[in-house]
Amino acid sequence: MPERPVHEHIRELTDTLVLLASSARRNLLLALEALKEMDIDKARRVKQADYDIDEAGQRLESQCLSFLALQQPVAKDLRTIVAIMRINDDIERIGDLSVHIVERALDIDRELQQQYDLESVGAKVAEMLQYAIDAFAAKDTVKASRVFAIEEEIDSMHRMIVRTVMAAMKILPGEIEQLIAVLSVSRYLERIADHATKTAREALYLVTGETPRQKDSSYEKLFESLRN
């Protein structure tokens, strides 16, 4: 039986990553619902889904490492595997942050959530993540650029929340715990946006070949050794 072409292996790994990223996005949306509705059952579902996403991510990493060892890809193929493994790491972090969000599900009442418009921030982050997934899947630099534009909006929204919460803490000492929870959720969403931005940068990496991250990461050292 003839050996499968390299491009088929890479397509399969790419498709697996896109499905995994989409699962992480759905879990983020569920986490936002759990927060808005203060729903413990949905919070439990988010935690279980994160466990499944972590396991799938570990399997994907193993498949990528096996591919590197057996196929020793170069040039564009190597860049694609580099990007898949990096994004896989970002997906794991996004899943962890979704769990952090639901851990605050009972800490912020609906009125305060509406006051700080956490729903709008979450919707923006989910939109951004979808653009990032699409940018990677299609190697679409236009969608990647859209991610960068939304990142600026989210950063601005987060800074506004920080300023208003810090001011509120001075005059509403009885709501300190809830206000701290608002800050935490806003920060988690901002960090998810950061990971979406990294994913979009990987899309650019596939097109341009210019590395989007520092070269002292463990993955970068591994790939450098494979090139030598």
Res 3: pLDDT: 60
Write the single-letter amino acid at 58.
Answer: Q
For residue range 127-168, list pLDDT tens digits in order. Answer: 999 999 999 999 999 999 999 999 999 999 999 999 999 999
Q: Which residues of the chain have pLDDT under 50?
A: 1-2, 214-216, 219, 222-223, 225-228
Q: Are 15 and 81 in contact (CB under 8 A)?
A: no
DSSP letters along 32-43, please? HHHHHHT-HHHH
pTM: 0.88
First to last CA, the chain: 32
Contact 212, 202 (CB under 8 A): yes
CATH number of 6-227: 1.20.58.220
Specify the pLDDT at position 213.
Answer: 53
Q: How far apart are CA 72 and CA 107, in angstroms?
A: 50
pLDDT value of residue 137: 93
d(CA 111, CA 136): 38
Burial class (CB in 10 A: 0-12, 13-18, 19+), 180: middle
Buried-exposed string 107-138: b where 16+ CB fall within 10 A, e elsewhere: bbeeebbeebebeebbebbbbbbbbbbbbbbe
C-alpha distances (whole Å) from 173 to each of 41, 170, 178 are 31, 7, 10
Torsion angle defined by CA atoms of residues 161, 165, 168 and 172, in that order, rounded to the nearest 10 degrees: 140
**What does the radius of gyration of the chain's CA atoms come to, in whole angstroms?**
19
Cβ 146 vs Cβ 131: under 8 Å: yes
Residue 89, class by beta-carbon neighbours within 10 Å (0-12 exposed, 13-18 middle, 19+ buried)? middle
Domains of the chain, residue spans: 6-227
Q: Please, what sign has the CA dihedral across residues 108, 111, 115, 121?
A: positive
